[in-house]
A and B are shown apart, each in its own frame.
Chain A
Amino acid sequence: MKKILTLFLSLVCTLTYAQEQKKQSSFKNFVKENYVNFTEFGGLFGKSYHITNISNYNLPVKASTNFTIQTYNGVKVYRNLSVGATVGVDWFNNYQVIPLSLGIRNTFGNLRTKKVKTFAGIDAGYGFMWLNDKVSDNQEINGGLALSPTIGLLIPTGGNANFILSIGYKRNAFNTKTETGTENNPYTTITDYNLNRMSVRLGVNF
């Protein structure tokens, strides 16, 4: 009887304690259950014609590799689908872009398994040019569309986190406008940059 009572009491205590705990940390739990983070770094690979002047249009294609970092922070809205925002930096050869995007991520398969899972996501937003210094007063640098669909693998670390290995497509658009010439003889040069790259990224997800 004593044994049973002790057991009963301890059960009640545990339950009450557990309930208290649950109440106190419901927000924490919510975050734990629903917050999604993808933080990645990697490279943007592409190529462009190396055009030096109009008469030598057929110069060889030059490969370009650039560094990129980004972090996605989102909230699960439906099953494994999350919605959030992505901010990052892309270092191109002459310009640096800060893409600020809205994005979604969906992980396929059961999150709790310790198997390798796949995910897909897309970010679309605007690339800001805040990191660039103007060459002169008569130059302006304007940002533009930033688009980045990716797919990748989530490789469990053993804990709650996953390593990310992803590839995707990245498009950054921006333009520069330079006014040379004079009041009576305006001379405006607008250069539209459309950088199409393949992205390969590594990172962590939790």
Chain B
Amino acid sequence: MKKFLSKTLLMVALATAFVSCKDNCVQTVTYRGTESVRVTLSELRTSIKTLPAQDLENPGKIYVKDNYLFINEVKKGIHVIDNSNPSSPRAISFIPILGNVDIAVKGNILYADSYTDFIALDISNPNAVKEVSRTNLVFTNGQVEGLWWNYNPNDQTINDSRYRMYTTTQEVACDQPNPQSVNWGWGFPTAFASFDSRSASASPSPKTSGVGGSSARFAIVNDRIYAVTQNDMKLFNIKSPTQPTFESSVALGFGIETIFPYKEKLFLGTTTGVQIWDNKNPQKPTFLSRLEHVRACDPVVVENDIAYVTLRSVDNFTPCGVAIANQLEVIDVVDPASPKRLKIYPMESPYGLGIDNKKLFICEGTKGLKTFDANNVLDIKQLQHFKDINAFDVIPLNNTLMMIGKDGLYQYDYSNPNSLKLLSKIAVKVKS
């Protein structure tokens, strides 16, 4: 009996100990937010030098000039690639340029933006690039990969921000009714992340200049560079290539994304539609017409009086907030004063596009690259779909398709449009 009692006592003691058992539930949230970055003008203006070739980390737009391929490293600088043999491209050097996004080349001079400044670099020796000119404070704000920067003249700094992954951990109730997304009120990440897509196609610029993107913000037409910002167009005269002079600024509205010169016209892709400007007088482009569409990101390319526009629904946290439009629009621009929409084709999430001799290439972001036969614009047929790559920008030129994606630069031989042949790949360095 005594033994039984002691056992019972032991159990009671244990029970008392166990009564203090407490559930512990911890919630870890990982999300992409932004943090602010400040760049002073003195930091900005001491950055130009030439470094040995570096790995691609976050590639942006691409630009081709003769045998050279320029790949922008978003807001960091420019990779110079010797592409005389597309099967084995060779990285030559890296030019660090703070805040650089756009590139244009004419002759031996490379024009680039550097946050507020417009600079010209002599690249005749890509291993020793020299700054030949700098136009200060032409641009006052901009938007790159969904993040805005602006210049504050009071303290002479550029206020920018960058993406950062945040991780927060906290104890939560174990009996939450639903583990779905809960806004804990620690600041929701930035809603927009529309990649400032730069697709490309053979631009009909003079031979002396290179080939950029259909949706590049820089376009060279004869002796002028047209650089579009979010709301205007800056004209630079480059008659004397090493001494570009800022001529004028043309107000455009808002949400301007891309510029594509075609014949004597300038095609501007905006978030609300395509604008066509007459460029007969290169010093003073005049507004011709506008074709509205739903709000979306839209690069535009033109060939044989047919404009191809891709619309991508803006990546937003509230799916219903922004119209869902992922499509390719084919627009007849024979009469640029009154463009006519011919047909709409559904797409998945189109970024950049390129066209060369009725061969249409469309980047679908994480969904890969698609090739189309556009011989009959009313019946564009899909030929191939490369699914396992990330694609946001293409330049089709002389049967070599240069395609940039978040995972690297791919080059394809498209002499047989039914079967593209992969020539080479420069992979993005995977961050460990």
Contacts of A85 in B (CB 8 A): none
Contacts of B4 in A (CB 8 A): 116
Q: Considering the complex, which residues of chain B in the window 201-226 have a beta carbon less than 8 Å from any beta carbon of chain A?
A: none
Residue count of chain A within 8 Å CB distance of chain B: 50
CB distance from B165 to the nearest CB of A (A): 8
Q: Considering the complex, which residues of chain B in the window 1-28 have a beta carbon less than 8 Å from any beta carbon of chain A?
A: 4, 7, 10-11, 14-15, 18-19, 21-28
B24 near A196: Cβ-Cβ < 8 Å: yes
A167 near B171: Cβ-Cβ < 8 Å: no
B174 near A48: Cβ-Cβ < 8 Å: yes
Nearest residue in B to A167 (C-beta to C-beta)?
B15
B181 near A48: Cβ-Cβ < 8 Å: no
Q: Which of A5-13, A14-22, A49-57, A74-82 contacts B (4 or more CB under 8 A)?
A: A49-57
CB distance from B30 to the nearest CB of A (A): 4
Nearest residue in B to A46 (C-beta to C-beta)?
B21
B25 near A187: Cβ-Cβ < 8 Å: no
Given the known interface contacts A196-B23, A198-B15, A200-B15, the answer about A190 and B185 at a Cβ–Cβ threshold of 8 Å is no
B285 within 8 A of A: no
Which of B18, B173, B190, B195 interacts with A50 by CB under 8 Å? B173
Contact size range, B: 35 or more
Question: Does more than half of chain A's interface fall in helix, strand or loop, or is it mixed?
Answer: strand
Q: Considering the complex, which residues of chain B in the window 184-198 have a beta carbon less than 8 Å from any beta carbon of chain A?
A: 184-186, 189-191, 193, 195
Contacts of B21 in A (CB 8 A): 45-47, 169, 196-198
CB distance from A94 to the nearest CB of B (A): 6
B254 within 8 A of A: no
Which of B31, B174, B184 interacts with A181 by CB under 8 Å? B31
Nearest residue in A to B27 (C-beta to C-beta)?
A191
A46 near B23: Cβ-Cβ < 8 Å: yes
B172 near A93: Cβ-Cβ < 8 Å: no
A185 near B317: Cβ-Cβ < 8 Å: yes
CB distance from A16 to the nearest CB of B (A): 45
A151 near B11: Cβ-Cβ < 8 Å: yes
B171 near A184: Cβ-Cβ < 8 Å: no
- A-B contacts, 5 of them at CB < 8 A, read A48-B24, A48-B173, A116-B4, A182-B316, A195-B174
